[in-house]
Amino acid sequence: MKRVIFMLAVWLQASMAALGQSQALVFQSDFGLKDGAVAAMKGVAYGVSGSLNMFDLTHEIPAFNIWEAAYRLNQAAPYWPPGTVFVSVVDPGVGSERRSVVLKTKTGHYFVTPDNGTLTLVASSMGIDEVRQIDETTNRLQHSQASHTFHGRDVYAYTGARLAAGIITFQQVGAVITTGIIQLPYQRPVSENGKIRGTIDILDVQYGNLWTNIDLQTFSQLKANPGDRLNVVIAHEGKTIFHDSMVYGKTFADVPEGKNVAYLNSLLNLSIAINMGSFSGKYRVGSGNDWTIEISR
């Protein structure tokens, strides 16, 4: 009788584990949502395990834009618990010699992606614990070898799903990479002589706000308090596009509607907005390394 109960308990625990203990699997790509590509990836993952919890980061990364892929991963990943597996597929070199890798960060997050710079920012902010190259002889959807243009489906979704479901361990992904991963060039903010110089990393596209690379620590050197005015100069390839002072507010509503405001965004980087308006639209400001910003009191 005891043996019956024991076996019942073992079977149940195994079943519960299968049902409930998968890690979240989060997809990002530049595929858009208009066709069947994202659903093909999720179908492959669901075929791996029916108890995965799947989510989307975004699939609206502009086509081939690896920098934005890197940025969006870094924007969202820290809010997911350790163990979460991210599959990011912005992959203009699909089918070429670029490597396919899984990064495990010091925080315990996993990133499955082509090694093309996508990992630049999470590697820096979350720390590299280990990177492994995906061994496609064992980690590839069966019967997919004839296809050379959709590793998102055939390699990344498949491997991410097996990792998230616990079917393979991180070690079973493939051999450790010891030669480093591809890093995109990017700027760090500079503080000197009471001025902070940075770049406009990206636009908060939905609202037209500018998100700079000036982090809280660097900005703190200005010793500005909410309510103070800041002098803001924005330039494109060295040519001044905008030069004016504005309030440093805690939030948009600290200035009247239609007024400019500097604030710390949700990642605690200095940002520029119009309350209830689009700064990037009004002043035709873009993002990237050639868009610079200088802040002073």
Under rule CB under 8 A, which residues in 141-200 are in contact with its own copies?
Answer: 146-150, 153
Residue with tokens 């992606």: 113
CB 154 within 8 A of CB 140: yes
Per-residue binder mask for its own copies (CB under 8 A), 268-297, x = binder: x-------x---------------------
When binding is defined by CB under 8 A, the residue of 66, 67, 70, 73 that contacts its own copies is 73
> Cα–Cα distance between 223 and 62 in angstroms, integer?
37
Stretch that binds its own copies, among 68-76, 168-176, 181-189, 232-240 (CB under 8 A): 68-76
- 266 sits near its own copies (criterion: CB under 8 A): yes
Residue 49 has a CB neighbour count (10 Å cut-off) of 16
Query: With respect to its own copies, which residue has the nearer C-beta, 235 or 264?
Result: 264
Q: Which H or E element spans position 158?
A: helix 158-164
Query: How many residues interact with its own copies (rule CB under 8 A)?
Result: 79
- 224 sits near its own copies (criterion: CB under 8 A): no
Per-residue binder mask for its own copies (CB under 8 A), 6-35, x = binder: --xx--x--xx-xxx---x-x---xxxxxx
When binding is defined by CB under 8 A, the residue of 44, 119, 196, 272 that contacts its own copies is 44
> Cα–Cα distance between 266 and 284 in angstroms, integer?
23
Query: With respect to its own copies, which residue has the nearer C-beta, 138 or 220?
Result: 220
DSSP assignment of 238-253: TEEEEEEEEEE-SSGG
Q: What angle do CA 228, 230, 262 make, to 5 degrees?
A: 90
When binding is defined by CB under 8 A, the residue of 145, 194, 251, 284 that contacts its own copies is 251
When binding is defined by CB under 8 A, the residue of 40, 128, 182, 224 that contacts its own copies is 40
State the minimum distance, in angstroms, from the CB of residue 271 to its own copies: 8
Extract the tokens encoding 216. 């809280």
Q: In the window 78-97, what residues touch its own copies (CB under 8 A)?
A: 79-81, 84, 92-96
Query: With respect to its own copies, which residue has the nearer C-beta, 58 or 133?
Result: 58
State the minimum distance, in angstroms, from the CB of residue 130 to its own copies: 23
When binding is defined by CB under 8 A, the residue of 175, 194, 205, 281 that contacts its own copies is 205
When binding is defined by CB under 8 A, the residue of 106, 188, 250, 297 that contacts its own copies is 250
Give helix then strand counts, H and E, for the chain. Answer: 8, 14
- 223 sits near its own copies (criterion: CB under 8 A): no
DSSP assignment of 85-124: EEEEE--TTTTSS--EEEEEETTS-EEEEESSSTTHHHHH
> Cα–Cα distance between 116 and 152 in angstroms, integer?
14
Query: Half-sphere exposure of 67 toward its Cβ, with a 13 Å CA cutoff?
Result: 11
State the minimum distance, in angstroms, from the CB of residue 286 to its own copies: 15
C-alpha distance from residue 235 to each of 165, 286, 288 (Å): 48, 10, 11
State the minimum distance, in angstroms, from the CB of residue 193 to its own copies: 27
Per-residue binder mask for its own copies (CB under 8 A), 106-145, x = binder: ----------------------------------------
